[in-house]
Amino acid sequence: MVARVATLYPNTLLVTGPCSTPAEIADLTAHAFDVSDQLGVNTVVATSTSHLVSDYAGVAVVGPSLTSGTKGRQMDIVATVLEAEALAHRVPVIVPQATTEAASCDACGQWQTIATVRNHHGEVFCVDCRGAAPGCSWCLIDEESEPVYTGTGFAPMCAPCADVEKVRRPSPWNLSTSERTTSPIMTA
C-alpha cells in the first residue's frame, strides 16, 4: 500500500496526452487551458515522464486512457506512464468524458467538455456560475478569473494579476481566441 502524503502543488493538475509532434503539444496545451478554465485550477502541461505525479492534486489525460475504455486506439507513451504512476500512487485521474456528456452552462453558456456537473434537476452550471471557482491563484482574491499561460501551463488569475503575467510572459496562448487564430505564431 502506498501512503498518501500532502501534495507539493495542491491546486494543480498535471495534464498529459499525445505530445510527439508540435501539433500534439499545441492540442495538449489547448486542453490544459480548458481544464484550467472549466475547473478553475492551475495546470502543468506534461510532455515528458519527468514529473512526479504524487506532487499534483491530480492528472488529466487527453485522448485514450488506461481507465477510459477507449480500446483499439494507440495510447501515447508519456500519458500511459504518467497515468499508471498516478493510479499506483492513488492520485486522482480525470479521463476524457464522452462527447455526449458535454453540455453548455445553463447560466452563461460556457461549453463544459472536461467534467460536466449537473445539479439534482439535471441543470448544468460551470464553476463560476455554481460559485465554486476558487478565484485568482496569485492574489487569492475571490473574483472572476481567466486562465493565463505561465510558461508551463495555465493559472486562473484576476484581471490585474493577469495583466502583470501577460507582460512578464508574452505568449500567443495569452491572446484572445480571435487574436490566436490570426497570430503568425499560432497558425504556423
Distances (CA, A) of 165 to 17, 110, 148, 157, 159: 26, 24, 7, 9, 10
Rounded CA-CA distance 7/78 in Å is 21
**Which pLDDT score, from 0 to 100, does residue 52 have?**
94
pLDDT in tens, 33-68: 999 999 999 999 999 999 999 999 999 998 777 766
Q: Is the pLDDT of residue 72 over 60?
A: no
State what percent of residues in the chain have pLDDT above 90.
Answer: 40
User: Across the beta sheet with 146-149, what order do the strands follow?
Assistant: 93-94, 56-61, 9-16, 42-46, 153-157, 146-149
Average of per-residue pLDDT values in the chain: 84
